[in-house]
């Protein structure tokens, strides 16, 4: 092989860029990781967004996917400062009447709290929890013949159905509401096929290890991944925004933690007409409007169980949540949006000055929306936590343009790097023998625009790097 500056260059330091860089460096290659912003981390950064001493997670805050990631689990991240904190309950889902459904650690406990839906919940979740370890790398990877086809079919059958169809298993307000909040993480109308997949994965993660927050803030995941990469001999440079291949040092392999739109800008001239056309047809999904608060006390939720949960889903019934998500998909802005809220300082006192608290929330909005949803989000919190507004010391908000400005991968505010629907679930960003390989030799895409999609888990980066190791370096890295 001709002499190059590096064996591989990775552009973008989100969880997937960092995971790709680590996988390549662990295989003995020399790797340079470039980041356009002044600090590493992509969707894993934390900062004092409101007042001094209040540490907010700018993007991701709750980490079932990171704690459950087969790739992250294989790394010594604890040795590099990563510590998860597990709230007693993963999520709470309050209702108008002051009660709440709760996603707990075990299937039995969660099912028991669902009254007459106890058996329906247990019969749905028990088989998935039992077989997850056999199917995890198949579910969290590209489309291929699974190692455990029967177990995979047992997951795939309910996962491919729409959330509303799967909800027919449940009769109680509690189970139906809890389920719709889980499925609404899909950022799609709950009538869409495969909107059950993310809900099932998130509930499985709760029953296997929980939904942790990170001690000190999500930034610590980025810092631990970067510290481990550097300890292996990897190099990191920040403030290098890549808009052209000409900016890059020479390397036989280039992995880009970017979405198809940037991929086309950077390397489009190298691609076949077919691949370019496929990337141009790639679809981005709904965006988010995000609020962070500094509070002088915990959020006063009416339902006591909310104080035990790191995440609280605000949307009341399945019908209300389905309406809000459906309206958003049609370009509307619901008066009562489905709000995903996290309260990390309840479990991690290092996030705020003594006695004070932080809270994090977002709702879904149409891609590119300029509407300020602060009032609608705060009204929704107040609805389930009367007196909330009086607790606010300061707030920081981001609309879709600000989210994209903060991170160029969040096109129009889409935090998943493109719609994760049935058509883009396994074939993102394009239908190819390997979704990570572009049509240009040595150039790979490794962001959440590849399988398995959004979330902090690093599995896209891991799979893309494995592809590059096989194609370019003829190395066969060990499986997880």
Closest distance to ligand FAD from the beta carbon of 87 (Å) = 13
Closest distance to ligand FAD from the beta carbon of 66 (Å) = 6
H/E element, 325: helix 318-329
Closer CB to ligand FAD, 161 or 449, in the complex: 449
Closer CB to ligand FAD, 164 or 419, in the complex: 419
Cα 191-368-92 angle, rounded to 5 deg: 50
Q: Which residue has the tokens 């949803």?
A: 373
Closer CB to ligand FAD, 170 or 282, in the complex: 282
Do strands 253-256 and 8-11 pair parallel, antiparallel, or not at all (unpaired)?
A: parallel
Query: In sequence order, which residues have a C-beta less than 8 Å from that of residue 382 and are 6 or more positions away?
Result: 388, 389
Examine residue 174 and tell whether it contacts ligand FAD (CB under 6 A): no
Cα 466-459-106 angle, rounded to 5 deg: 140
Closer CB to ligand FAD, 59 or 163, in the complex: 59
Closest distance to ligand FAD from the beta carbon of 3 (Å) = 25
Query: In sequence order, which residues have a C-beta less than 8 Å from that of residue 281 and are 6 or more positions away?
Result: none
Q: Which residue has the tokens 């298993």?
A: 169
Examine residue 376 and tell whether it contacts ligand FAD (CB under 6 A): no
Closest CA to 46 of 221, 175, 164, 210: 221
Tell me, what DSSP letter sits at residue 96?
T
Examine residue 285 and tell whether it contacts ligand FAD (CB under 6 A): no
Query: Which residues 219-238 are close enough to bind ligand FAD by CB under 6 A?
Result: none
Among residues 141, 285, 412, 417, the one that binds ligand FAD under rule CB under 6 A = 417
Residues 150-173 as b or e (16 or more Cβ within 10 Å = b): ebbebbbebbbbbbbebbebbebb
Closer CB to ligand FAD, 146 or 451, in the complex: 451
Q: HSE (CB half, 13 Å, CA atoms) of 118? A: 6
Examine residue 37 and tell whether it contacts ligand FAD (CB under 6 A): yes
Closer CB to ligand FAD, 211 or 384, in the complex: 211
Work out whether the CA dihedral 277, 278, 281, 284 comes out positive or negative: negative
Size of the site for ligand FAD (CB under 6 A): 41
Examine residue 262 and tell whether it contacts ligand FAD (CB under 6 A): yes
Tokens of 327: 């309206």
Distances (CA, A) of 90 to 122, 307, 347: 17, 11, 12
Query: Which residues 315-354 are close enough to bind ligand FAD by CB under 6 A?
Result: none
Closer CB to ligand FAD, 116 or 239, in the complex: 239
Cα–Cα distance for residue pair 157/318, rounded to 1 Å:
22
Closest distance to ligand FAD from the beta carbon of 361 (Å) = 9
Query: Which residues 436-455 are close enough to bind ligand FAD by CB under 6 A?
Result: 447-448, 454-455
Longest Cα–Cα distance of the chain, Å, equals 70
Closest distance to ligand FAD from the beta carbon of 228 (Å) = 16
DSSP 111-131: HHTTGGGHHHHHHHHHHHHHH
Closer CB to ligand FAD, 332 or 408, in the complex: 408
Query: Which residues 4-23 are close enough to bind ligand FAD by CB under 6 A?
Result: 11-17
Closer CB to ligand FAD, 107 or 456, in the complex: 456
Cα–Cα distance for residue pair 46/55, rounded to 1 Å:
6
End-to-end CA distance of the chain: 29
Among residues 22, 359, 415, 472, the one that binds ligand FAD under rule CB under 6 A = 415
Among residues 133, 149, 231, 241, the one that binds ligand FAD under rule CB under 6 A = 241
Closest CA to 166 of 178, 151, 179: 179
Closer CB to ligand FAD, 123 or 243, in the complex: 243
Closer CB to ligand FAD, 11 or 22, in the complex: 11
Examine residue 358 and tell whether it contacts ligand FAD (CB under 6 A): no
Decide: residue 280, CB within 10 A, 0-12 exposed, 13-18 middle, 19+ buried: exposed
Examine residue 65 and tell whether it contacts ligand FAD (CB under 6 A): yes
Examine residue 60 and tell whether it contacts ligand FAD (CB under 6 A): yes
Examine residue 210 and tell whether it contacts ligand FAD (CB under 6 A): no
Binding mask 392-411 for ligand FAD (x = CB under 6 A): -----------x---xxxx-
Alpha helices in 235-299 (DSSP H): 260-267, 273-280
Among residues 26, 104, 290, 364, the one that binds ligand FAD under rule CB under 6 A = 290
Closest distance to ligand FAD from the beta carbon of 70 (Å) = 15
Closer CB to ligand FAD, 164 or 256, in the complex: 256
Tell me, what DSSP letter sits at residue 387?
T
Among residues 54, 229, 282, 362, the one that binds ligand FAD under rule CB under 6 A = 362
Examine residue 213 and tell whether it contacts ligand FAD (CB under 6 A): no
Cα–Cα distance for residue pair 14/192, rounded to 1 Å:
28
**Where does this chain bind ligand FAD (CB under 6 A)?**
11-17, 34-37, 42-43, 59-63, 65, 241-242, 257-258, 262, 288, 290, 362, 403, 407-410, 415-417, 447-448, 454-456, 460
């Amino acid at each position: 092989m001709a002499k190059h500056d590096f064996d591989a260059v990775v552009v973008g330091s989100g969880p997937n860029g960092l995971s790709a860089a680590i996988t390549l460096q662990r295989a003995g290659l020399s790797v340079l990781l470039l980041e356009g912003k002044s600090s590493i981390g992509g969707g894993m950064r934390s900062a004092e967004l409101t007042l001094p001493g209040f540490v907010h997670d700018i993007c991701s805050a709750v980490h079932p996917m990171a704690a459950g990631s087969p790739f992250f689990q294989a790394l010594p991240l604890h040795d590099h400062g990563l510590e998860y904190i597990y709230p007693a309950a993963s999520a709470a889902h309050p209702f108008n009447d002051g009660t709440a459904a709760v996603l707990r650690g075990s299937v039995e406990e969660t099912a028991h709290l669902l009254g007459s839906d106890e058996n329906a919940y247990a019969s749905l979740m028990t088989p998935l929890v039992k077989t997850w370890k056999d199917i995890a790398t198949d579910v969290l990877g590209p489309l291929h013949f699974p190692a455990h086809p029967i177990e995979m079919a047992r997951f795939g059958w309910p996962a491919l159905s729409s959330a509303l169809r799967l909800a027919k298993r449940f009769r109680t307000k509690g189970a139906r509401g809890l389920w719709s909040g889980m499925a609404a993480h899909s950022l799609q109308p709950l009538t869409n096929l495969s909107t059950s997949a993310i809900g099932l994965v998130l509930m499985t993660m709760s029953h296997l290890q929980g939904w942790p927050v990170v001690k000190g803030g999500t930034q610590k995941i980025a810092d631990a991944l970067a510290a481990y990469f550097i300890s292996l001999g990897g190099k990191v440079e920040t403030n290098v925004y890549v808009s052209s291949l000409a900016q890059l040092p020479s390397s036989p392999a280039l992995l880009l933690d970017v979405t198809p739109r940037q991929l086309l800008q950077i390397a489009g001239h190298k691609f076949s007409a077919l691949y370019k056309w496929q990337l141009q047809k790639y679809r981005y999904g709904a965006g988010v409007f995000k609020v962070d608060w500094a509070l002088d006390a915990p959020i006063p939720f009416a339902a006591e169980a909310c104080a035990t949960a790191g995440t609280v889903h605000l949307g009341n019934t399945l019908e209300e949540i389905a309406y809000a998500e459906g309206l958003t998909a049609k370009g509307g802005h619901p008066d009562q949006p489905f709000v995903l809220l996290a309260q990390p300082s309840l479990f991690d006192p290092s996030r705020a000055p003594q006695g004070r608290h932080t809270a994090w929330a977002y709702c879904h909005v149409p891609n590119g929306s300029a509407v300020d949803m602060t009032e609608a989000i705060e009204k929704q919190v107040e609805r389930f936590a009367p007196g909330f507004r009086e607790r606010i010391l300061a707030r920081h908000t981001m609309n879709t343009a600000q989210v994209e400005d903060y991170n160029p991968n969040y096109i129009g505010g889409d935090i998943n790097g493109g719609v994760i629907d049935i058509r883009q679930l396994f074939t993102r960003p394009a239908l190819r023998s390997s979704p990570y390989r572009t049509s240009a030799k040595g150039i790979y895409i490794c962001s959440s625009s590849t399988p398995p999609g959004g979330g902090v888990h690093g599995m896209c980066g891991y799979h893309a790097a494995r592809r590059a190791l096989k194609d370019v370096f003829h190395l066969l890295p060990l499986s997880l």
